Homo-oligomer: A and B are copies of this chain.
Amino acid sequence: MDSRDVLSVGTVAQRSGFATSALRYYEAQGLIASERTGGGQRRYQRSVLRRLAFIRAASNVGLSLEEIRDELQRLPEGRTPTRADWQRITRHWRGRLDEQIAALERLRDGLDSCIGCGCLSLQRCGISNPGDWAASTKTAPGAAFLPRLLREQHPPN
């Protein structure tokens, strides 16, 4: 099947669950690397699979590809990350997740306290105005504070 230890883009796609176009994109963005055959086709080392698992995990945690690239670059060159490397990173992620959860809980609890009141005041309601930013003198942004959250609870086909 695979000539000793090197994987074609199709094989990596199949094993990682990423589309080949995504793999090429990640390479263009500097998240993964490949060698080339004489004819110019990509050949990957098996370690790319772990790297891709890392990418998937990080992106599940909400990091942008840019942030992921930065974290990957901060990992020791080439070698498998140690327990300490991994802990440093997951601690970072853990904080992020905790923040996100807390933000959503504030929103939900505000919603509960609001149920039935119909208040939705631009200045006072915690749901339409979380964090009280609108009370400041700065002009408020048009964008929402909370993210475009997952619309599909399950992966698309």
Interface residue ranges, A against B (CB under 8 Å): 14-19, 21-22, 49-50, 52-54, 56-57, 59-62, 64, 80-83, 86-87, 90-91, 93-94, 96-101, 103-105, 107-108, 111-112, 114-118, 120-122, 125, 127-131, 133-134, 138-151, 153-157
Contact = CB atoms under 8 A, between A and B. Distances in A.
Nearest to A14: B139
B142 A22 contact: yes
Contacts of A50: 120, 122
B111 A131 contact: no
How many copies altogether?
Answer: 2
Name the residue among A80, A91, A104 with the largest chain B CB count within 10 angstroms.
A104
Nearest to A80: B118
A58 to B, nearest CB: 9
A49 B134 CA distance: 14
A59 B122 contact: no
Contact of A145 (B21, B49, B60): B60
Nearest to A127: B57
A13 B27 CA distance: 43
A154 to B, nearest CB: 7
A84 B24 CA distance: 52
A89 to B, nearest CB: 10
Contact of A111 (B19, B97, B125, B148): B97
A98 to B, nearest CB: 7
A147 B150 contact: yes
